[in-house]
Amino acid sequence: MFQRILSIDERVIAAIPKLYSKRRNQIMIYISKSGNNGLVWILFILPFLFVSKWQRTGINLIIAMALVHIIGEVIIKHIVCRTRPSHYIQEEDMIVKHPRYYSFPSGHTAASFSIAAAVMLKCPLYIAIPVLIYATLIGFSRLYLRVHYLTDVIVGMLLGLICGFLSVQFLNQIYY
């Protein structure tokens, strides 16, 4: 089973360059970079913190990101220690530089989906749908740039969804 999953990961990484075009590459680099250090999500959260009606949602989003960071980046990545696919690819075949840290799970994807999960539970659809789409684009950009395997992104997505849902449940327990 594990070998089959690794085989799928490898085939996806090998197939990605077929999607490359100069314009798509630029778009994917931009989308991926917007997720660096959770920047796009921090900027997204800020307005929530300054409108009293939405402050609790802003706090939810901060808790979701903090929780996913601790579990994904601090704990899981250092237990699994998975080497990124980009480290097996020649530098001239890469669109971006090789990231330094471990691959599993995708931190960009996990952070994005932690926000998406909390937003889906706390905000109207006109906010939730674009956030979910952008979270998906960030996850895909990590595959496209070949800095993560498919399983890194899928587990990042699942971890993010769980942490987002847990943050909402946690605050609901405190305030109700």
| The pLDDT value given to residue 105 | 94
Residue 134 lies in a domain: yes
Provide the pLDDT for residue 66: 95
pLDDT for res 92: 72
Domain with 105, as residue range(s), is 21-175
pLDDT of residue 3: 83
Q: Which residues contact 101 (CB under 8 A, 6 or more apart)?
A: 77
pLDDT value for 93: 72
Structural domain contains residue 107: yes
- Which pLDDT belongs to residue 116? 97
The tokens for 169 are: 């449940």
Q: Give the CATH number, domain containing residue 60.
A: 1.10.606.20
Q: In the chain, how many domains are there?
A: 1
Q: CA-to-CA distance for 176 and 7, rounded, in angstroms?
A: 47
The residue among 89, 107, 108 whose CA lies nearest residue 28 is 108
> What does the block give as tokens for 172?
């609901």
- Is 2 within a domain? no
pLDDT score for 176: 59
Asked whether residue 28 is assigned to any structural domain, the reply reads: yes
Alpha-carbon distance of 57 to 39, in angstroms, equals 18
pLDDT one digit per residue (tens) for the chain, 176 residues: 778 888 888 888 888 889 999 999 999 999 999 999 888 999 999 999 998 888 889 999 999 999 999 999 999 999 998 888 887 877 777 787 778 888 899 999 999 999 999 999 999 999 999 999 999 999 999 999 999 999 999 999 999 999 999 999 987 787 65
